[in-house]
């Protein structure tokens, strides 16, 4: 990370959102989802530097729990105590002046 000018000390006491790419439930070796070992490596860095790792993802076609199971994430999530917030708490914000994106979802993971 030093090569890109980022100091992971910045993770200390922070809630860090990790956004793998989950399209649908698939074996990680098929390269349809972010490989769980890549996710694990990043989560371990966050935790090593005293940050709190959150998995923030809403798969397009399958429930997140199914993607975690089929994709090989379940043990990583459990062993590293990665937090998966309730995505039902997301709030849709609309911005009518934007030509590319009409809105985005904001998720509160605080308190």
Along the 111 residues of the chain, how does pLDDT read in single tens digits?
667 778 888 889 998 989 998 888 999 888 889 999 999 999 999 999 999 999 988 888 888 899 999 999 999 999 999 999 876 666 666 666 666 665 555 555 554
Closest CA to 53 of 25, 80, 86, 88: 80
pTM attached to this predicted model = 0.78
Element (H, E) at 75: helix 74-80
């Amino acid at each position: 990370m030093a090569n890109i000018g980022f100091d992971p000390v910045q993770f200390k006491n922070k809630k860090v959102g990790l956004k793998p790419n989950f399209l649908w439930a698939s074996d990680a070796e098929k390269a349809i989802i972010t490989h769980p070992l890549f996710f694990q490596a990043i989560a371990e860095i966050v935790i090593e530097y005293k940050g709190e790792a959150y998995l923030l993802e809403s798969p397009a076609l399958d429930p997140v729990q199914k993607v975690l199971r089929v994709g090989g994430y379940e043990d990583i999530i459990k062993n590293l105590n990665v937090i998966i917030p309730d995505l039902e708490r997301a709030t849709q914000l609309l911005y009518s002046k934007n030509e590319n994106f009409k809105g985005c979802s904001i998720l509160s993971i605080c308190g």
